Amino acid sequence: MTATFVNIISVDPARQQELIEVLTEGTEQVIRHRPGFVSVTLLAAVDGSRVINIAQWDGPDDAEATLADPRAQEFAARIAELGVPEAGVYRPAGQFTAPARTR
């Protein structure tokens, strides 16, 4: 079963880009090298007030093991210095796509 880690981080708009840089650094240096890693998507709120980090994993155990990794915890501490994170690991509950389009 796949798992998705979602972290919605509230941030001062003046520090949004700095937060994105820390998330990118953590992903490049630690997260993408962990067992079971599939992908990361970072979303930046247009008003600058939030960043959403969405990480896809092969399974919930992979996501949970990464959260326990001391190197990942170092980046989590840096993130918490920049904003207020609200994180969790989720399982798929549904997915919907647009119907086929005709020209």
| pLDDT tops 90 at residue 102 | no
Domain count, the chain: 1
Q: Give domain status of residue 61, yes or no.
A: yes
Q: What confidence tier does 83 reach under pLDDT thresholds 50, 70, 90? A: very high
**Which tens digits make up the pLDDT trace of 43-82?**
999 999 999 999 999 999 999 999 999 999 999 999 999 9
Q: Give domain status of residue 69, yes or no.
A: yes
Q: Give domain status of residue 86, yes or no.
A: yes
3-state secondary structure string across the chain: CCEEEEEEEEECHHHHHHHHHHHHHHHHHCHHHCCCEEEEEEEECCCCCEEEEEEEECCHHHHHHHHHCHHHHHHHHHHHHHEEEEEEEECCCCCCCCCCCCC
Check: CB of residue 7 under 8 Å from CB of residue 85.
Answer: yes
The pTM score is: 0.90
pLDDT of residue 50: 99
pLDDT of residue 22: 98
Q: Give domain status of residue 15, yes or no.
A: yes
CA distance 34 to 31: 5
Q: What confidence tier does 1 reach under pLDDT thresholds 50, 70, 90? A: confident
CA distance 12 to 19: 10
Q: Domain span at residue 11?
A: 3-90
Q: Give domain status of residue 96, yes or no.
A: no
pLDDT of residue 15: 98
Specify the CATH number for the domain of residue 8: 3.30.70.100
Q: Give domain status of residue 53, yes or no.
A: yes
Q: Give domain status of residue 101, yes or no.
A: no
**Which tens digits make up the pLDDT trace of 10-30?**
999 999 999 999 999 999 999
